[in-house]
Amino acid sequence: MAASGSKCRSCGEPAVIDLPRHNANFCAEHLLQLCRRQLHKAIEDYDMFGSDDRLLVAVSGGKDSLAVWDMLVEAGYRADGFYVGLGIGEYSDESTRYVTDFAEQRGLHLISADLRRDFGYDIPTAARATKRVPCSACGMSKRHLFDKAAVDGGYDVVVTGHNLDDEAAVLLGNVLHWDIEYLARQLPVLPARNGFPRKAKPLVRLTERETAAWCLLRGIDYLVEECPIAAGNRHLHHKSVLNTIERESPSTKSAFYLNFIDNMAPLLAEQTAAASGDLVECARCGAPTTGETCGFCRLVDTARAHEPVPVDLVLGKRGRR
Amino acid sequence: MLVKLRNPNREIEVDGDRTVNHLLDALELPRESHLVICNGTLVPGDARLAHDDVVEIRPVISGGC
């Protein structure tokens, strides 16, 4: 057993993790308590949802989505899972197994969709067919299907596992380009509007290290490997930059994001309202859209017409191993 | 000690004794984006690792697209 000199800030027992941003160490029990408190603070501070709401948790098999599903169920919320098979080779096969096992072992309700089975394409093929980065087709497909599943199933809120690192990295990317429209929409909760369901990110006050530790300490088996297509993308580079800053100046990352939400987002609220107008129903699927046919239906048309592309042909910079 | 690494999965032998933070620094792995598990238990940065320990260094960064 490894000897540790550090003690839990709450109880003085041997610590299992050091969290420089809190200038503290924690034992297993009090780390879990910290995670629960941060989850509840996010839900309450941003008025995400209540105990009567039906939640649909978007799950991928990774640590964040399984952690947030676990936390919400533990806290007594009515939360079902929704999973989309993306057709990214062995990575997707493994993802499916982790999600299915998680739900079965806990007796939770899981709804599944599969791009190839249900819509005739997969992410590698969509990337090649649209000549865009795979993450673009992946994000559009998932957002559309999460929204549709929530509306069709009568859920009040779509919950995602985006954490503090995710949001800070997206914020950095949006700031570097001064993308005002994206900045205005980068909120921990988006209200239901124009046929879109409410969306909430209850993990925005927790870092990736903390959600991973939650999974370890709760015995949650998750897919550790990152998406082979996403490897080396700009989002991961932004995370790395922020972690370099965080190392020299702990808690900068949380200040960057949370102070944006408190101080800057209200100033951008007018922009959000202006950007949300003039939506109509997609002539094909009924989803809200600015044109006659929504982006997802156009993506399906383009990708389905393309011959299947093996995942090896679209691997990210560090995914080629 | 035996050290298990991810992305890609591999195992290396590292001379002990040293702390978790020293091990991460030696392997040039950022402390902010990794957890260290020694003999199946999560351990903090100042934990001292012994030559017969089995250590997993688990990255925590996800694509988040």
Summarised one tens digit per residue, pLDDT across range A145-176 is 999 999 999 999 999 999 999 999 999 999 99
Using one digit for the tens of pLDDT, what is the confidence trace for A29-76? 999 999 999 999 999 999 999 999 999 999 999 999 999 999 999 999
Q: Which tokens is A10 given?
A: 């709450």
Nearest to A282 by CA among A199, A195, A198: A195
What pLDDT score was predicted for residue B26? 95
Whole-angstrom distance, CA of residue B24 vs CA of residue B45:
9
What pLDDT score was predicted for residue B64? 52
Count: domains in chain A: 1
Angle of helix A234-248 versus helix A252-259 axis, rounded to 10: 120
Closest residue on chain A to B50 (Cα): A2
Give the other-Cβ count within 10 Å of A113's Cβ. 18
Q: Does residue A30 fall inside a structural domain?
A: no
Residue B33: domain span: 2-59
Q: Does residue B7 fall inside a structural domain?
A: yes
Terminal Cα distance for chain B, rounded: 36
User: Residue A2 and residue B20: Cβ atoms within 8 Å?
Assistant: yes
Q: Does residue B29 fall inside a structural domain?
A: yes
Beta-strand pair A54-59/A157-159 = parallel
Q: Does residue B34 fall inside a structural domain?
A: yes
Give the other-Cβ count within 10 Å of B46's Cβ. 17
Q: Does residue B64 fall inside a structural domain?
A: no
Q: Once rounded to an integer, what is the mean pLDDT over residues B28-43?
A: 95
Is there a cis peptide before residue B17, judged by omega within 30 degrees of 0? Answer: yes
Which own/partner contact pairs does B26-33 have at CB distance under 8 Å and 24+ positions apart? B27/B3, B27/B57, B29/B57, B29/B59, B30/A240, B30/A243, B30/A244, B30/A247, B31/A247, B32/A209, B32/A243, B32/A246, B32/A247, B33/A208, B33/A209, B33/A239, B33/A240, B33/A243, B33/B59, B33/B60, B33/B61
Q: Does residue B47 fall inside a structural domain?
A: yes
Q: Domain with B50 in it: what CATH number? A: 3.10.20.30
User: Residue B6 and residue A63: Cβ atoms within 8 Å?
Assistant: no
Percent of chain A with pLDDT over 70: 95
Whole-angstrom distance, CA of residue A24 vs CA of residue A6:
9
Whole-angstrom distance, CA of residue A43 vs CA of residue A99:
24
Q: Once rounded to an integer, what is the mean pLDDT over residues B33-46?
A: 96
Chain B residues whose beta carbon lies within 8 Å of the beta carbon of residue A209: 32-35, 60
Helix (H, G, I), strand (E, B) or coil at A110: strand
Q: Does residue B65 fall inside a structural domain?
A: no
Mutation target to probe the A interface, by most A beta carbons within 10 A, among B32, B51, B56 is B32
Count: domains in chain B: 1
Enumerate the β-bridge partners of residue B35.
B58
Confidence band, pLDDT 50/70/90 cuts, at residue A317? low
Say if CB B63 and CB A227 are below 8 A apart.
yes
What is B22-62 written as a DSSP string? HHHHHTT--GGGEEEEETTEEE-TTPEEPTT-EEEEEE---
A72 vs A3, residue with greater confidence: A72
Tell me the pTM.
0.94
Site of tokens 């792995």? B29
Q: Would the pLDDT of A3 be above 80?
A: no
- Give me chain A's average pLDDT, please: 93
Contacts of residue A227, defined as CB under 8 A and 6 or more positions apart, other chains included, come to A88, A91, A316, A319, B62, B63, B65
Q: Does B30 touch chain A (CB under 8 A)?
A: yes
Q: Once rounded to an integer, what is the mean pLDDT over residues A216-220?
A: 98
Residue A104: domain span: 45-222+232-314
Q: Does residue B35 fall inside a structural domain?
A: yes
Confidence band, pLDDT 50/70/90 cuts, at residue A281? very high
Q: Does residue A130 fall inside a structural domain?
A: yes
Say if CB B14 and CB B6 are below 8 A apart.
no
